[in-house]
Amino acid sequence: MTYANPGALIETDWLASHLNDPHVKVLDASYHLPGTGRDAETEFTQRHIPGAILFDIEDVRDRNNPFPHMLPDADQFGEQMETLGLSNDDLIVVYDVHGIRTSPRAWWTFRVFGHDNVAILNGGLPKWLNERLPVSDDIADPPRGAFRATLNRALIRDIDQMLANQETRQELVIDARPAGRFVGTMPEPREGLRGGHMPGSVSLPVENFIDETSKTFQPAAGIKAALAKQRIDYRQPVVTSCGSGVAACLISLGLYLVGNETVPVYDGSWSEWGARQDTPVE
C-alpha cells in the first residue's frame, strides 16, 4: 500500500544526487529536549549534510511568547527564511539527527506559512550515515533568498480553540507524548507542569509511526494499523498535541502521508495546557 502523498518524503539516494541543485535546499532541524545535555547547533557545526543550513527551532519562534518555540508571525518567518537563503521556488528538504523526530516541526511550519514544497529526508542523518554518504563541517553562507510567507490558520490550533473543543469534541486530540507522560506516571521534562492528559484525548507516541531499525516512516499500512489500534480513522477530524508542539508534527505528517492533508497542531501543547489552572486534566 503506497502513500497518498509520497512527495512529503525524500529518500537518501535522491538527495545525494541532487545536492548541487540550486533549487534544492537542505535544512537540519535537529532539536533536543531540556536536560539531555545535547546542543543542536554544536552538533551541526561538527557534522552535517554538505550545504545544509541549520533551522533552529528555538530561534524560529515568537520571542514575545513565554511558551517554547511558539510560531512567529508571517513577516518574521519570511525574513528569517530569506536570511537562510530560502526562496519560494525552492524544494526544501529537512532532516534531523534522530532519524525522524524533530524535522517534522520544520515541515509543518513551512506549510503553516504557505510553502508546501517541503519534504522530510526519510531516515534522516542516521540513514545517511549508515549509507556512508558525505558529511561536512563547512558552514554555508548562502546569498539572501526571496521568501514570502502567508499564514494558513487551518493548520494551527490555539488554547481557546482547544478549550472550545473540550465542549464540542469535534476534533479528536491525539497526544504524541510518551505513554508515561500521558497517564502522569512519568515526569514532564519542563518544570511546573501538571501530569496527565486532556480529557477525551488518545495516546499515540511517535514511535508508532517510525521503524525502529531504519529510522524511516512505517509504510502506509503500518501507519493505518497504528491508528486503527487506537480506534482512530485517519480521515476523521483530528488535532495533534505533545509536550511543546514538536512531536505532534510527526503525527500530523504521518496522517498527511496516508491522505489526511489538514491535521492541525496545537502549538502550545502540554507546555501551555499543563501549566494553566483553568484547563481540565485527567
In the numeric block, which cell numbers belong to residue 230?
Answer: 487506537
Joined grid coordinates for residue 88: 519560494
Residues 39, 41, 44, 45: is their CA dihedral positive or negative? Answer: negative
CA distance 256 to 170: 19
CA distances (Å), 109 to each of 171, 182, 229, 252, in order?
21, 25, 29, 12
Give the whole-angstrom CA distance, residue 92 versus residue 104.
Answer: 12
43 touches 30 (CB < 8 A): yes
Which residues carry out catalysis? 242
Asked if residue 15 lies in contact with residue 93, where contact means CB atoms within 8 angstroms, the answer is yes
- Collapsing DSSP to helix, strand or coil, 73 comes out as coil
CA distance 29 to 143: 20
C-alpha cell at 150: 502567508
